[in-house]
Chain A
C-alpha cells in the first residue's frame, strides 16, 4: 500500500469559497463549545479553559490572601490569642502553598493559555484536550488541598515541607501527605500546559512570524515553559520520595539508614528557585507588551530583551543552593552560588534598562492604569532585587536567615515582580476578554491603595527582620518590643487587602457597565487586537500574515491574511519553526468529555494513594479506559485524514 491507498483527502468547504457572513457562520458552527452541561464539561477552547483557570486561580488568591489577613491579625500585637500554634502552622503553610502552586503558576500559565494562541495568530492551543485535562487536574488538586484543610488535615510543614519535619517520624497523620500529593496534581497540570504552549509557539505561528517577530510576551511564555519542563520534575521526584518514605518505609531521606535530609532540600530548590522565575518571566513579558503600547513605539532592544529572557531562564537553574546557605555547605560551593546569584541581576537589569529606554524614546507616555502598575512594578521589584543581591552574600544571609527580612525580600520580588504586572495586565487585556473597559477612576484608586498598602505592610518587615524576628512564629512576647511595628504592618496589610476589594468591585462593575472596548481600544500592535473583543471561538476568520514585530502598526488599513483552510472541520495552520512558513493544514481536536474522565480517574488515584500504595494498581484500569476513550478516533472529519 502507498499513500494513494489512504483515505481520500476531503476537499471540504474552504474559506475562500464563502462570503463574509457565511464564513463566520460556518466557522462558529465548527468551533463552538456545545451548549448544556456536557458541552460545558467538554470544552477544548483555549479561551474557555483559560478563563476557568483565571477565575479559579483568583479564588485561590483570595483564600490565600484571607489566610494572610488572619495571620496579620494574630501578629498585630504581642501574645494575641486569636489562633494557636497548630492552626497557625497550617495557615502559613496553606498561604504559601496556595500562593505558589494554586495561584501564581496557574495564573501566569492561564494568561499565556488565553493570549499565546491569539498573539501568534492561530485558532486554538496545540493539544487542546491536554489543556482541558490540565485544568481539571489543577481544580482537583486545589479542592483536595482546601477540603483537607477544612477537615483539619491541611499541611502544617511550610510550603517547602523540609524533612525530617515532614518525614514519617515527626509528622504522623496525613497532613504532610496532603502537601506531597497536592504537588503531584499541580505539577502534572503545569507540565501539560507547558508542553502545549511550546508546541503552539514552535509550530502554530501565523505565516511571516519569524523568530524575530514573535511578541515578547510569547517569548516569555516559551522560555517559562522550558523552565517548567526542566524544573517541575524535581519537585515531583522530591514529593514522590517523601510519600514513599512516609507510606512504604523507604529511607531516602532517613540519615539513620543511609539516606540524607539535605537531598530533599537540593531536589526541592532545584525546582524552587526556577519556580520564582516561572512566576516572574511571564510578568516581564506582560510588561514588555504594555510598555510599547503606552509609549507609542516598538520596544527598545528587542534582541537584548529576548536574550535576557533566555539567559534568566538558564541561570535560574544555577542558583538553588543560595536557599541552603545556612545548612553548612562547603564554602567554595557557597561562593559559586553567590556569584551566580549576583550574575542573574545582569540580564534582569538589561530588561529594566530596555523598558526605560522604550519609555524615554517614545515621547510622553499615556499614563493609564496598566502603565501605573508597571511603574509600581519597577519601584517594588528593583527594591526586592536589591535585597536579593544582599541575601546572595553568605555572611548576611546567615544573619537574617529565616527572619522577616527574608519574608520582606520575597514578597517584594513576588508581589512586585509578578502581582503588580499581573494587575496591570488585567487592566490591559480585560477589554479583550470581556469587550468592556475597566474603570480608570477605580483603577487609579486601586493602584495607589495597593502601592501604599503593600509598602506599608512589607517594608517594615525588613526592619523587624533585622531586629531578629523569626518567620513562622505564631506570636511573640511583649518584652521584645515588636508590638508597634507589627501593628503598623498589619494595618498596611489591611490596606493592601482593601485594594483588592476595590479591584473586585472594578472587575464586576466593568464586566457589565464598562465602556464598550471595540477590537483595539489601546491602539496596540500585536495580533490579539486584530480580532473582536471578546474573540470568537475560532479566534480569526482568516489567519493573519505577519510583516513586522508590531503587525497592526505596520498594516493600519488592510490586514494581509492567508486563505484556503477548511471551515467544516477544525483546521489550524502548522508552520516551520524559524521562519514560520506555511507547511501543513493540521486538524485540531474536537470537544470531548474524556479529558474530564481522565482527570477524575487520575485524581482519584492520586487521592487514594495517600492511603495505600495499591491505589496505583487499582487506578491503572480506569485510567487506561479513560485514556483510550480520549484518543480513540470517533469518526469526526478531524480524525480521518
Chain B
C-alpha cells in the first residue's frame, strides 16, 4: 500500500517524566501488583485474627519501639525524597547527587533498626499462626525495603558517572522517588497491624 506522511514527529522531545513516561507507568504497574500482595497478606492476617479466640495468640504483644522508630525514620524520609524530586525535575546535578546520598542513608537507617524489630516481636514464626503472620508481614516489607535501597544505591552510583548526564536518568530519579513513597506508604498499615492490633 502507498504511504503518505501526514504527521511530523521530528520535533518531539526524546524523554519525558511522570505520567508522560512509560517507565512511570511500568513503576505504577509494579506498585499495583505488589500493593495487591501486601493487601492480601494483610487480609490473611485479619482473617486469622478474626477467627482466633483472642489476639495475640499466647504471646505478649510486641515491643513497638523499634517499629515506631522505623516509622518515624520512614516518614521523615519523605521530606528529602520530595526535595530530591524537585531537583530532578530541574536537572540540577549536584543537589540530585546529594539528595540520592541522603536517601541511601534514609534507606539504610530503617534497615539497621529493622534488625532489632524481629526480636521485639516477642514470638517466633514457628510458635503459632499469629507469630507466623507477624514474621511474614515484617519479612515482606523488609524484602521490599532491601530491594528499593539496593536500587537507590545503584542509581546513586550511576548518577556519579558520565551516564548521569542524560535527561532520562533524571526521570529514573523521579521514578525512584515515586517508588520510595510507596515503600513508606505500604509500611503504615503493616505497622498498625503488627504493633497496635495485638494491643486492642
Q: Determine which of B41, B130, B167 lies in contact with A641 in the assembled complex, contact meaning CB atoms within 8 Å.
A: B167
Q: Verify A263–B10 contact, CB threshold 8 A.
A: no
Q: Is the CB of B126 within 8 A of A251?
A: yes
| A632 partner residues in chain B, CB cutoff 8 A | 154, 158, 163
Partner of B6, one of A199, A252, A561: A561
State how many angstroms separate the Cβ of A521 from the closest Cβ of chain B.
14
- By size class, the interface of chain B is 35 or more
A230 touches B47 (CB 8 A): no
The docked-state distance in angstroms from the alpha carbon of A6 to that of B96 is 14
Instruction: Decide: B91 and A6 in contact? CB cutoff 8 A.
Output: yes
Q: Which of A300-321 contact B (CB under 8 A)?
A: none
Q: In the bound complex, how far is the Cα of B84 from the Cα of A71, in angstroms?
A: 62
A574-B16, A583-B20 given; A198·B29 CB < 8 A = yes
Interface stretch, picked from B31-39, B72-80, B112-120, B183-191, is B31-39
Stretch at the interface among B60-68, B103-111, B132-140: B132-140
Whether A250 touches B132, Cβ cut-off 8 Å, given contacts A573-B9, A584-B13, is yes
Q: Which of B152-171 contact A (CB under 8 A)?
A: 154, 158, 163, 165-168
Which B1-57 residues sit within 8 Å CB-CB of chain A?
1-16, 19-22, 25-26, 29-30, 32-34, 36-37, 40-41, 44, 47-48, 51-52, 57
Asked, given contacts A259-B129, A628-B154, whether A633 binds B163 with beta carbons under 8 Å apart, the answer is yes
With A and B bound together, what is the CA distance between A344 and B127 in angstroms? 43
Interface centre among B36, B57, B129, B163 (most CB of A within 10 A): B129
**A152 in the interface (beta carbon within 8 A):** no
Q: How many angstroms between the C-alpha atoms of A562 and B133 in the bound complex?
A: 55
A394 on interface, CB distance cutoff 8 Å:
no
Q: In the complex, A561 Cα to B7 Cα: how many Å?
A: 7
- Contact A560-B4, Cβ < 8 Å, known A14-B10, A258-B130: yes
**Which listed residue, B9, B41, B47, touches A564 by the CB 8 Å rule?**
B9
Quick one: given A6-B91, A237-B37, are A519 and B1 in contact (CB under 8 Å)?
yes
Q: Are A230 and B2 in contact (CB under 8 A)?
A: no
- Minimum distance in angstroms from A172 CB to a CB of chain B: 17
Confirm or deny: B83 has a beta carbon within 8 angstroms of a beta carbon on chain A: no
Residues of B within 8 A of A6 (CB): 91, 165-167
- The binding surface of chain B is classed by DSSP as helix
Q: Pick out which of these stretches binds chain B: A200-208, A423-431, A455-463, A506-514.
A: A200-208
CA distance A203 to B51 in the complex (A): 45
Does A244 lie within 8 Å of B36, measured CB to CB?
no
Give the distance in Å from the alpha carbon of A2 to the alpha carbon of B95 in the complex: 12
Q: Which of B12, B44, B125 contacts A582 (CB 8 A)?
A: B12
The reply to whether the CB of A236 lies closer than 8 angstroms to some CB of chain B is yes
Q: Is the CB of B150 within 8 A of A624?
A: yes
Across the interface, A229 reaches (CB within 8 A) one of B19, B29, B57, B132, namely B29
Q: Is B98 an interface residue (CB 8 A)?
A: no
Chain B positions within 8 Å of A194 at CB level: 29, 33
Q: Let me know if B69 is at the binding interface, CB within 8 A.
A: no
Known: A244-B136, A582-B7. A260 touches B48 (CB 8 A): yes
* Contact partners of B133 in chain A: CB under 8 A: 252
A198 touches B25 (CB 8 A): yes
What is the interface size of chain A, counting residues whose CB is below 8 A from a CB of the partner?
79
Cβ of A561 and Cβ of B166 under 8 Å apart? Answer: no
A191's nearest neighbour on chain B, judged by CB, is B33
A586 near B: Cβ within 8 Å? yes
Q: Which of A16, A564, A577 has the most CB of B within 10 A?
A: A564
* Closest residue of B by beta carbon distance from A10: B14
| Chain B residues whose CB sits within 8 angstroms of the CB of A558 once the complex forms | 1-4
Contact B22–A199 (Cβ < 8 Å): yes
Question: Which of B2, B19, B93, B168 gathers most chain A CB within 10 Å?
Answer: B168
Task: Give the CA-CA distance A583 to B150 in the complex, in Å.
Answer: 32
Q: Check if A229 sits within 8 Å of B7, measured CB to CB.
A: no
State the main secondary structure of chain A at its contact with B. Answer: mixed
Q: Is B122 an interface residue (CB 8 A)?
A: no
Output the nearest chain B residue to A586 by Cβ-Cβ distance: B22
Q: How far, in whole Å, are A587 and B51 apart by their CA atoms in the complex? A: 52
From A126, A564, A585, contact of B26 by CB (8 A): A126
A16 to B57, CA, bound (A): 71
Contacts of B92 in A (CB 8 A): 1-2
CA of A210 to CA of B126, assembled, Å: 54
Q: How far is the CB of A175 from chain B (nearest CB, A)?
A: 22
Scan A111-150; emit 1 where CB is below 8 A from any B CB, else 0: 0000000000000001100100000000000000000000
- Binary flags per residue of A464-492, CB closer than 8 Å to B gives 1, else 0: 00000000000000000000000000000
CA distance A204 to B23 in the complex (A): 12
B197 close to chain A: CB less than 8 A = no
Question: In the complex, are the beta carbons of A585 and B9 less than 8 A apart?
Answer: yes
Query: Do A1 and B14 have beta carbons less than 8 Å apart?
Result: no
| Distance of B123 from chain A, by nearest CB (Å) | 11
A639 at the binding interface (Cβ < 8 Å) = yes
Q: Which residue of B lies closest to A225 (CB)?
A: B29
Chain A proximity of B85: nearest CB distance (Å): 16
Q: Which of B25, B44, B127 has the most CB of A within 10 A?
A: B44
A493 on the interface (CB 8 Å rule)?
Answer: no
Q: Is the CB of B33 within 8 A of A259?
A: no
Residues of A within 8 A of B126 (CB): 248-251
**Chain A CB within 8 A of B94 CB:** yes
Contact B5 A542 (CB under 8 A): yes
Q: Which residue of B lies closest to A635 (CB)?
A: B163
In the assembled complex, the CB of A243 is this many whole angstroms from the nearest CB of chain B, namely 11
Neighbour of A263 across the interface among B6, B47, B90, B150, CB < 8 A: B47
- Interface 1/0 per residue, A1-44 and B, CB below 8 Å: 11101110100001010000000000000000000000000000
* Among B34, B93, B125, B167, contact of A249 (Cβ-Cβ < 8 Å): B125
- Which chain B positions have C-beta within 8 A of A241? 44, 136
A263 in contact with B1 given A1-B93, A3-B167, A257-B128 (CB within 8 Å): no
Q: Which of chain A's residues have a CB closer than 8 A to the CB of B166?
A: 6-7, 633, 639-641
Say whether, besides A252-B133, A258-B48, A557-B2, A584 and B12 are in contact (CB < 8 Å).
yes
Residues of A within 8 A of B9 (CB): 543, 562-565, 573, 582, 585
Question: Would you give the shortest CB distance from A129 to chain B, in whole angstroms?
Answer: 12
A611 CB within 8 Å of chain B:
no
Alpha-carbon gap, A587 to B22, bound state (A): 10
Q: Report the minimal beta-carbon distance from A46 to chain B, rounded to whole angstroms.
A: 14
Query: Of residues B7, B130, B133, which shows the largest number of chain A Cβ atoms within 10 Å of its Cβ?
Result: B7
Contact: B91 with A1, CB < 8 Å?
yes
Indicate if A254 sits at the interface (CB-CB under 8 A).
Answer: yes
Q: How far is the CB of A149 from chain B (nearest CB, A)?
A: 29
A257 touches B129 (CB 8 A): yes
Chain A residues proximal to chain B, CB less than 8 Å:
1-3, 5-7, 9, 14, 16, 126-127, 130, 191, 194-196, 198-199, 202-204, 207, 229-230, 232-234, 236-237, 241, 244-245, 248-252, 254, 257-260, 263, 266-267, 270, 519, 530, 541-543, 545, 552, 557-565, 573-574, 577, 582-587, 624, 628, 631-633, 639-641
A-B contacts, 22 listed (Cβ < 8 Å): A1-B92, A2-B91, A5-B93, A6-B166, A16-B5, A195-B33, A202-B22, A204-B22, A237-B37, A251-B132, A252-B136, A267-B40, A267-B44, A543-B9, A552-B1, A558-B1, A565-B9, A565-B10, A574-B22, A582-B7, A582-B12, A640-B163
Q: Which 7 A-B pairs have the closest CB atoms?
A: A564-B10, A250-B132, A258-B129, A564-B9, A249-B126, A195-B29, A562-B7
In addition to A199-B25, A250-B125, A564-B12, 12 A-B residue pairs with Cβ atoms within 8 Å of each other are A16-B10, A130-B26, A202-B25, A233-B36, A244-B125, A250-B126, A263-B44, A559-B3, A560-B6, A561-B6, A563-B8, A633-B163
